Amino acid sequence: MRYPVRAGVAAVALALTASLSAAAGVSKDLAYPTDGNLTAEQIIEQTYFVNHFYAFDNYAITKKGRDITVLVIKSRDKKPTTNTLERYLNNIYDDGVIKAQDLAIFRSGKLKGTGMLITDYEDDTKSQSYMIWLPALRKIRRFAEPAHDDAWGGSDFTFGDVTLRKPFHENHELLGKETFNDCLGFIEFGQGEHTRFTKNLPTAGSCDHKGKEVYKVKSATKFENWWYDERVSYIDTRTFADYRTEYFKNGEAIKVIDRDWVSLGASDDPRAVGWGYWYGKTLATGNQTWAYIPAKVNAVNATYKKDWWSEKTLRKIKR
Amino acid sequence: MKTKENAWANAYADFVLRYRWVIVTLLVAATIVAALQIHKLDIRNDPDTLLPPSNRYVATNLYAEHNFGMGNLMVFALKVKEGDIWQPWFINKIQKIHNELVALPHSREANFIDIAAQKIKYMGADENGLVFKRLIPTEGISDDPDIAKEQLAFLREGVKNNPVMAPMLVSMWDADGNRCAYEDYNKDHCIAKAAYVIADYTDDVKETYLPWVREVRSMMDEYAQDERIELLVAGEPYFLAWMLADLVNKWWLFAISLVIVIVVLWMEFRTWRGALFPLIGVGMTIVMTLGLMGFTQFKLTTMMVLTPMLLLAIGIGHSVQITRRFLLEHARSGDCTLSARESIRHTIIPATLSIITDMVGFATLAAVDISFYKAYAYFGMFGMLTLLLTTTTLIPLLLTAFPPSQESCQQMKSHGWETGVGGFLTRLITGPGKWIPVAAVILVMVGSVYFTNLMNWKGDPAAEVKLVEENDIMPGVEKGINYARAAFKGSSDTWKDLVQLNEIMPGVISVAIPIRGKQPNLVECLDTYYPDDIYDIEDPIEKAQACDKYKKELACWDSEACGPQGVFNDVDLHTDLEKMENWMRAHEFIGYTGSYTQYIRLVNMLLAAEPGEQPNLKDLTVPNKDYLLAIDPDDDRSPNEIVQMYNGLLEAMTSAGDMDSFVDTESWNEGVVLGFINTMHPVETHEVTMDIQQYIEDHKNEPGFSKVHFGLRNADTSGDTNEMSTEGPDYVRPGIGGFLGATEATREVAMENWLIGPLQTALAIFIIAALMFRSVLVSALLTLTLFITLFAQYGLGGYFTSVENWSGNLAFHLLVTLSIAMGLGVDYGIYMISRLREEMQNTGNNWVEALRNTQNTTGSAVIVSIIVLLGSFIPLAGTTLANTWGLSVYIGWALIIDVFTALMLLPLMIKWFKPKYVFQR
């Protein structure tokens, strides 16, 4: 009779450990897998690692001459709105409290000069903190973490898509490996729809990833009454970069997000890649979003002042 | 009118008899072809297509709907019977309703307003700073009591502390049962007793009204079973769709109507042929008319149900005349062909003439730029015209093919009741009793003078204003509309729900005031930009001048150098809009308002709060110079830059489409103020419309408003810059939209047509009757009877106005009855005069005998016709729809008076005035 009791305790301990590790998020030190037989969870953790640039100490998209990252949001049959921005991400923290800090600065449009400092904590149950410099008010305000399904910057991406969704928020299932056989999406501008920031954007989607081997992973959300039931990701078997994610609700495709990835160098880790662009389309409305990052503006493992990720930097932003 | 000798009538009778089978075959073929088109009928009940699109209010309403949506709002209100709404089951029910309404076809989720909507947020502060969070978790309120308590407290706090949205989300009441003022919504003595889900749907819903409304009703049935709550549902798409469904659901009323017709025909003719052939003929006409409606895909309303019912009634009237004539001839001669020839040649002329006058009644409606008037006109005329073939021609032809025996026709010679009624009427008219009909007519006229308040004899000051300013000589007759009561009877659940909803919500009629920047946006500079030194100019005036200079030089706008375009980036506009909304919210008949400016105020309140502080209501304002300097006299921040930044924040912090119902986020140069009107009273809706327009007039030159155009002055925006917008005789105040605009447009159209329309019809009938009878006197006598009827109808409108029965006042949809009834009503007089002349000739000008014979035959046929007509109105009057009820009441009242005057007053006048047409030997 003792054996079953011990087995029961072990099972509970195992379950507890498993749930704790699932809820603990993804370590910045997650090793590159050597075994080719990965589970869906392991693949998704690797993809999370890649999307959060844990392969780098820091990662930035800056402004080089006239080259700058452009966020284009376009409703169907309407002219697009454009914002340009810089972003500085720092992953090097060892205080056991902060996991990463991300500084975004808007460089054009109505939010020109607005800066945002986002702090992500090691404790996954703790909300991210958002500190925003509002230049017209000349004030800093703090915001609580937005909801996963809130639109990111008014775009077709949600905060969940961009940053908040963690592997443990979904149940994953590996559907197999296949060859990614498509070019990525992009916004095709009509006559008179260009702005000064869109006129030099590519006129075709990236086909660089056509023919690459990808994992096909289905991830079902654990949230109830959620905006999607499941999403299917196409993930590079070598770099773990996700090229495409298709979202489904009640069996119908509702949104697609394509990501172009470019090698950033500075590391032998195959996962040391960065975004070339994000493209998203909400199928019901036809709204599209395109965040295009010129290759020139990427900077990794650069040197910054110690207090770069601070309120002081925010207050110094020029309009 | 000499029917006996009319060569055309003889030729026609001979022709149709010769080719009888060809004609019958063609008619059957036409009916089959038409029947195949009926499925294309487009009964969409769309008020947007009812009114003239060039009307400023209609144009403004369509403009607002097209640009900002919110044109098909439906409200589900859930009222809790015990306690307050902050209970898990209640909140989860609201969330479930939200999800189900979103799942309905054609929903516009981004426009939904309720506590479960994603865009409606908790807005406050906690230890992490400002919090913008869903009010209810997507998974609903938890089953765990402790978690649920926390979630409900959060929700309650979020609703009470959202001064902009709270009145649109919940209804709060104090312990004494009084509704709390909106500014008291955050006070503890206010208890939330109801919550709403305001849902919006695209125009596509209009094409699938029936299946859509059945889904809605099924939801309503499900939720209504919960005894803890009371469910109230209202809103334009539900209303209009349910009107259609109600009509379809009451199909059995149409069956009753048909049974009545069959019974009357059977009693009249006592033969299956007499009961069946008229129905076949009229049925073919109805099928052909419905087929034409389907083929043309004309957008119809439920009120079009009048057309087939009128065709049934009028067609049966004609059928009775021709069938009776055939059977009488057959009884006399026993020869079917001869009987058919005689009946056709005797009947075709008066039938044609009466159908022409019927058509005139419809035709004059085509002159009014209202789609359903035109629909009545086109399809009414078509249907009436076909009656000549399907009744006056077809029935005798069918009777030659399926002849009755001569013996069976003998009983047709005369029914006892006919000679009884004919004899009574003759005695009445030829004796001292003749003053009874005269007195009855005088009584009706006096009543009408009383209720119409003709020329404001009552001395009412409000009526005097209408008389003087709008030349309304019958101010006692309300021409405005209470749309809801015009649609549904006061006894209907739909109306009762709406009344209750109006009590708990800010209002159930929308008003939309579109605003457009006077300065159009320039194209953005693409290749050549303004010089870099412009960035260094700090003085705002100097910078504006420089921007202006390069704008002219380069013919483009550099928003990086000179800031964003669009008047909604200008604090002056928001300042004036804030004042206007404050004025509107204080208006007796305006429940609540919303605009993009409210977002600006809200963001200002939230961002004005220092870290660690809760937002303060004093900061719920537009951050203009006065506000900034009141806090710090040395404040040099730019209010425009603050507003532009708020705009940028709102763009970034909301989902696509979230703000589209208030502002055009592409141009930032157009927006709309939305409001809820808390009255449906037609006088009050007109009053509040005038007040809003007066406010705009009084403030149009203020700093913000001087930069914008309001509404539309005509069909499009051309009125912004032409003579309509400059002071002078052609100046026109801009219209306002929303259902209030549609209501005012309806009133405006009615005011234009209520008198002139029927007078035009009367003139047309007078001319046609004069030509027909070649007698101005006969025509004048007929027209006089029509005026008696017309004035009696106005009197009826005055009566309904006096008792505030807004299903029965003379709104635009009932105005059609004046012209239609005139065209139909004159038929009886035409038949009577024609027959009197014939009988005078037959009796050697023996007036009494001629009158008796006329009353015995034509008189009784007229009585049968009116019974059939009233029977066919049963479906119109029997549903919960008020519009068809109103049509039947007005036409029924008119035709009763028409029959009365045709049978009693007209013979008297003929006797007194002795027109040659009747009395000439």
Q: What is the pLDDT of residues A247-304, one digit of tens each?
A: 999 999 999 999 999 998 777 899 999 999 999 999 988 999 999 999 999 999 999 9
In whole angstroms, give the CA distance from residue B886 to residue B807.
7
Per-domain boundaries in chain B: 1-36+257-413, 72-246, 509-518+568-746, 532-564
Least CB–CB distance from A224: residue in B129, B138, B560: B138
Beta-carbon contacts of B548 under 8 Å, excluding residues fewer than 6 positions away, are none
Handedness of CA A165, A168, A170, A176 (dihedral sign): positive
3-state SS track over B430-486: HCHHHHHHHHHHHHHHHHHHHHHCHHHCCCCHHHHHHHHHHCCCCCCCCCCCCHHHH
Would the pLDDT of A18 be above 60?
A: no
In whole angstroms, give the CA distance from residue B282 to residue B337.
22
What tokens does B677 get?
Answer: 């009107």
Would the pLDDT of B278 be above 90?
A: yes
pLDDT tens sequence across A75-115 = 888 889 999 999 999 999 988 899 999 999 999 999 999 99
Of all residues in chain B, what percent carry a pLDDT higher than 90?
63
Given a contact cutoff of 8 angstroms between Cβ atoms, the answer to whether B379 and B301 are in contact is no
Under an 8 A CB cutoff, do B656 and A195 touch?
no
Helix (H) or strand (E) segment spanning residue B233: strand B229-235
pLDDT reported for residue B411: 66
pLDDT reported for residue B351: 87
Would the pLDDT of B5 be above 70?
A: no
**Mean pLDDT over all residues of chain B?**
91
pLDDT tens sequence across B896-920 = 999 999 999 999 999 999 999 998 7
ipTM: 0.88
Would the pLDDT of B113 be above 60?
A: yes
3-state SS track over B758-810: HHHHHHHHHHHHHHHHCCHHHHHHHHHHHHHHHHHHHHHHHHHHHCCCCCCCC
Report helix, strand or coil for A247: strand
Q: Which of A51-60, B280-289, B669-678, B870-879 has the lowest mean pLDDT?
A: B870-879
Residues of B in contact with A136 (CB under 8 A): 637-638, 641-642, 644-645
Q: How far is A73 from chain B (nearest CA, A)?
A: 9
**Which residue, among B126, B522, B653, B669, would best test binding to A if mutated, counting the most A CBs under 10 Å from its CB?**
B653
Going by pLDDT thresholds of 50, 70 and 90, the confidence category of residue B43 is confident
The mean pLDDT value for B507-511 works out to 91
pLDDT reported for residue B921: 64
In whole angstroms, give the CA distance from residue B117 to residue B109.
8
Q: pTM here? A: 0.87
Report helix, strand or coil for B671: strand
pLDDT reported for residue B1: 43
Given a contact cutoff of 8 angstroms between Cβ atoms, the answer to whether B843 and B850 are in contact is yes
Instruction: Decide which of B164 and B458 is more confident.
Output: B458
Residues of B in contact with A78 (CB under 8 A): 666
pLDDT reported for residue A15: 35
pLDDT reported for residue B298: 87
Under an 8 A CB cutoff, do B524 and A195 touch?
yes
In whole angstroms, give the CA distance from residue B499 to residue B421.
48
Given a contact cutoff of 8 angstroms between Cβ atoms, the answer to whether B413 and B284 are in contact is no
Would the pLDDT of B652 be above 70?
A: yes
Would an 8 Å CB–CB cutoff place B559 in contact with chain A?
yes
Could you give the residue ranges of the DSSP H alpha helices within A91-240? 159
Give the strand pairing for B42-43 and B299-300. Answer: parallel
Would the pLDDT of A24 be above 80?
A: no
Q: How far is B509 from chain A (nearest CA, A)?
A: 29
Residues of B in contact with A153 (CB under 8 A): 652
Q: How far is B739 from chain A (nearest CA, A)?
A: 27
Which domains, ranges and CATH numbers included, belong to chain A? 2-316 (2.50.20.10)
| Number of residues written out for chain B | 921
Which position has the token pair 């989607």? A205
pLDDT reported for residue A5: 35
**Would you tell me which CATH number, out of the four given (1.50.10.20, 2.40.30.10, 3.90.1150.10, 1.20.1640.10), belongs to the domain B1-36+257-413?**
1.20.1640.10
Under an 8 A CB cutoff, do B128 and A149 touch?
no
Using the CB atoms, write b or e for B269-282: b if 16+ within 10 Å: bbbebbbbbbbbbb
Which position has the token pair 């056989």? A181
**Which residue, among A66, A73, A110, would best test binding to B if mutated, counting the most B CBs under 10 Å from its CB?**
A110
pLDDT tens sequence across B351-373 = 888 888 888 888 888 888 888 88
In whole angstroms, give the CA distance from residue B13 to residue B340.
8
The mean pLDDT value for B666-685 works out to 95
Number of CB pairs, chain A paired with chain B, less than 8 A apart: 123
pLDDT tens sequence across B198-220 = 999 998 998 889 999 999 999 99
Under an 8 A CB cutoff, do A111 and B645 touch?
yes
What tokens does B837 get?
Answer: 């002349």
pLDDT reported for residue A125: 85
pLDDT reported for residue A12: 35
DSSP B172: E
